[in-house]
Amino acid sequence: MSGDAASSQHPPAPPAYDPAAIETKWQQIWRDQGTNHTDLKGGKNPFYALMMFPYPSAEGLHVGNLFAFTGNDIYGRFHRLRGHTVFEPLGYDAFGIHSENYAIKVGEHPMRLIPRNIANFRRQLERAGLMVDWRYAVDTTDPSYYKWTQWVFIQLLKKGLAYKKKAAVNWCPSCKTVLANEQVVAGECERCATRVEQRQLEQWFFRISEYAPRLLANLEKLDWSHTTLTAQRNWIGKSEGAELRFGIREAPAAEPITVFTTRPDTIFGATYMVLAPEHPIVDVITLPEHRGAVDAYRERTASQDVVARKVNKDKTGVFTGAHAVNPATGQAIPIWIADYVLMEYGTGAIMAVPGHDERDFAFATTFSLPIVRVVAAAGETAQTPLIEACHQDRDGRLVNSAQFDGLSVADGMREIVAWLAGKGAGKAVVNYRLHDWCISRQRYWGPPIPVIYCDACGPQAVPEKDLPVILPDISDFRPDDSGISPLARHESWYHAPCPACGKQGRRETDVSDTFLDSGWYFLRYPSADRSDVPFDPALTKKWLPVTSYIGGNEHAVLHLLYSRFLTMVLHDLGLVDFEEPFAKFRAHGLIIKEGAKMSKTKGNVVVPDRLIDEWGADAFRTYLMFLGPYEEGGDFRDQGMSGVRRFLDRLWLAAHDASTDGKPDPIVIRKLHQTIRKVTEDIPALSYNTAIAAMMEYMNTLRKGERAVQRAEVEPLVQLVSPFAPHIAEELWSLFGHSESVFDAGWPSWDAALVREDTVQLAVQVNGKLRGTLAVSPDVSQDDALTLALAEPSIAKFVTEGPRKVVFVRGRLLNLVV
């Protein structure tokens, strides 16, 4: 030390905490030493800490991404410190309409744009100090990745789980493109406000609906956020009911029409039938004099966009002229078509029971169709008039239902289904709302669906040895008027020999949905360095199912459901030995900005780069975790950052002051052990905000009255803070003379005996009202506590007579009832 005069009296001022310098320094050391590399083959106690990979937008990372990733990073780092080999990979979900639309907007090719975005994301992610093993990064747009996405498609095709059918899509005639439902706003294209139409296109589907019962049943076994499980249950939408068969009066020999209903008990009230306009039997049954009206209505329905049809609740429809025979009453009832019946749910046909269904009631009222009461709730009779549909009738009794009168709704269902089944007119069935997954996109920016059409042999899967089917780099990737994918215009790519006969065939020109890319990426990570297999069996067995998955609840349904489905299929194919990919899933919350949702239009988007420049990544990470419960999100306020930064500043100073190895203060040590326990319990529960609060509390104790701190008091705090603020933790850990990374130094433990307080404040209540506290030993007896309490005048004055009853909670509370 170069002793100037001042330093002989005052210790030299420690170097200032300079986050930019130490963060760059440690990120470099981590890279050089492979600190974040996971030993996938040899590592003991594997822990796969997965986070949902981001879409690398042109704007760069936003706080929401970093909030999600930091939460996962803390979880991963913590488990590493607790002795697990943690694998924390990250990648980019870079295909899809979002990128493509942006590319079109700025007039740049996505193949040029995306790599730049990815490079920028990578830079930002590294700045944030994530414990990611970048050797296993995946990029869904890289042929070495989508080769295997195409392979997944082929596995489903071979198993008969992929098929083609015509389906309605939203079409914007101005943008000349297919729109997703969320891009249709009030029946108009969200970008150009043109009226959206419906088009019928041949599309590829996966038979996920076949898996509905298993996808539902397995939910019981998953350790997932409750809200996510509920969302999945609702989406799968199991409903128990019956399929009932109605003969056609005008064509007694024809195949009866089957309807699905959840209320077979109300069949005596079925006064008409409605078919979806698209129902194939409409062509057969419509009488000539009604043909014109029916065709016009069907055309009108077809021209409507898919969203508008479902949003418009006004009842419209036309009569076909034909009649069905109600199998219960034997009566002929008119058959109508109406757009409120959807072809994709149930059988595309309903028996309308206007007395007990709101929609049917509205329709019957509009078209003056008969309404019959068949259930009477408490206080009602068979004659009680219906002024609106009586659908809250589950505990009512059947009426106007012949021999079933008087039965409860539940009994009526069972007996009527049995009766109709006996006549061959029905059976009990379970129906699911979940429909098959449409994976076709008539777009450019996605993996080509690996199929070749041959006039002689039909559709053929591209042989696995020929994968990947490379997405060609074409300059005109915009969609056009035809509704056919841009790839079809690329002649040299479009024509390909049939894999079966070798004659010239045509490639499938649709690309697949991005949810297919993300539906299996967690399988790829551990094997990302392998070009010969999609996933290595031994590594997969060791690392999967994913130990912990953290992500946003916006993917509660689709992404998580599709991933489960694909995993289940791969399991059935014998390719993986588990059915469920994610043993544990937790949904993180949403970050808002000063009470409002962040959005570009509001201009209140928080840019991480700027904040990291100003405060450092450690303070930024810690603040994100401090501003609210992780699973609920929080309100980002610029002012709040100073609090956590101050905490890190004080930690820095404390560590530099603590070079003396003096005797630690027992009071401080007790607080330390309490803090270790609190942080150790809070992190696995994702209660990051309270863990940080506990460390701040400890800091207040540690520095109280500017007391001199001892090394043994600070050193464990450096370890506790390390998952949150990894760079400063490494710097201070090395300051204490350690040569290994703090992340290889284990986790401090607490001593239960040291945690225990000698005295506690026992609350004393009189009639449940707090009247004072007593400083007593935690295991003071009721009698002693009572004596002490009554000796206290401020308490005793409320006890005018002997207490009638005494409630005593050891170490907590004494309540005197007078």
Partner RNA sequence: GCGGAAGUGGCGGAAUUGGUAGACGCGCUGGACUUAGGAUCCAGUGGGGCAACCCGUGCGGGUUCGAGUCCCGCCUUUCGCACCA
Q: How far is the CB of 587 from RNA (least distance, A)?
A: 10
Nearer to RNA, 616 or 634 (CB): 634
Q: How far is it, in rounded angstroms, from Cα 724 to Cα 73?
A: 8
Among positions 109, 584, 703, 711, the unique one binding RNA when judged by CB under 7 A: 703
- Give residue 495's Cα distance to chain centre: 40
Among 288, 595, 603, 802, binds RNA (CB under 7 A): 595
User: With contact defined as beta carbons under 8 Å apart, do 136 and 93 qualify?
Assistant: no
Give bridge partners of residue 189 from the DSSP assignment. Answer: 184
Which CB sits closer to RNA, 349 or 528?
349
- Binding to RNA (CB under 7 A): which residues in 538-557? 553-554, 556-557
Nearer to RNA, 350 or 786 (CB): 350
Angstrom distance (rounded) from CA 789 to CA 785: 6
Restricting to residues 247-266, name those near RNA by CB under 7 A.
Answer: 260-263
CA atoms within 13 A on the CB side of 224: 26
CB of 708 to RNA, least distance (A): 13
| Contacting RNA within 760-799 (CB under 7 A) | 760-763, 765, 767-771, 773, 794, 797
Residues 212-231 that bind RNA (CB under 7 A): 226-227, 230-231
Nearer to RNA, 407 or 762 (CB): 762
Q: Which two tokens stand for residue 489?
A: 């215009």
Give min distance, CB of 725 to RNA, in A.
14
- Which residue do the tokens 């915009």 mark? 478
629 contributes a contact to RNA by CB under 7 A: yes
User: Read out DSSP for 585-616?
Assistant: EEEE-EEEETTB---TTTT-PPPHHHHHHHH-
Contacts of 773 (CB under 8 A, 6+ apart): 761, 762, 763, 764
Nearer to RNA, 135 or 310 (CB): 310
| Residues 146-205 interacting with RNA (rule: CB under 7 A) | 181
> Rule CB under 7 A: is residue 51 a binding residue for RNA?
no
Q: Within positions 379 to 418, which residues make up the interface with RNA, using CB under 7 A? A: none
- Is 656 near RNA (CB under 7 A)? no
Number of residues this chain uses to bind RNA (CB under 7 A): 91
Could you tell me the smallest distance in angstroms from the CB atom of residue 760 to RNA?
Answer: 6
690 contacts RNA (rule: CB under 7 A): yes
| 241 binds RNA per the rule CB under 7 A | yes
Distances (CA, A) of 213 to 17, 238, 261, 519: 57, 8, 19, 19
Name the minimum Å distance from CB 640 to RNA.
5
Strand partners, 259: 244
Find the shortest distance in angstroms from Cβ 626 to RNA. Answer: 7
Q: Which residue number, 113 or 244, has a Cβ lying nearer to RNA?
A: 244
Using CB under 7 A, which residues numbered 327 to 366 contact RNA?
339-343, 345-348, 350, 357, 359
Q: Which is nearer to RNA, 250 or 792 (CB)?
A: 792
Looking at beta carbons only, is 147 or 559 nearer to RNA?
559
Alpha carbon separation from 797 to 127, 574, 589, 765, 818 (Å, rounded): 63, 78, 50, 12, 12
Q: Give burial (CB, 10 Å; 0-12/13-18/19+) of 375.
A: buried
- C-alpha–C-alpha distance, residues 428 and 532, integer Å: 49
349 by DSSP, 3-state: which? Answer: strand
Candidate residues 319, 445, 647, 652; the one interacting with RNA per rule CB under 7 A: 647
Closest CA to 246 of 154, 331, 168: 331
Minimum Å distance from CB 569 to RNA?
23
Taking residues 275 to 314 in sequence order and writing x for each that binds RNA by CB under 7 A, - otherwise, the string is -x--------------------------------xxxxxx
DSSP 10: S
Shorter beta-carbon distance to RNA: residue 116 or 597: 597
As measured in angstroms, the least distance from the Cβ of 812 to RNA is: 4
For the CB of residue 264, give the shortest distance to RNA in the complex, in Å.
Answer: 8
Alpha-carbon distance values, 337 to 133, 294, 352, 673 (Å): 58, 8, 11, 73
**CB-nearer residue toward RNA: 277 or 479:** 277
Indicate the residue among 124 and 304 with the shorter CB distance to RNA: 304
Give min distance, CB of 616 to RNA, in A.
Answer: 14
Work out whether 85 is an interface residue with RNA (CB under 7 A): no
CA 763/CA 565 separation, integer angstroms:
55
Among 187, 472, 499, 643, binds RNA (CB under 7 A): 643
As a three-state string, the secondary structure of 198-255 is EEEEEEEEECHHHHHHHHHHHHHHCEECHHHHHHHHHHHCEEEEEEEEEEECCCCCCC
3-state class of 39 per DSSP? coil
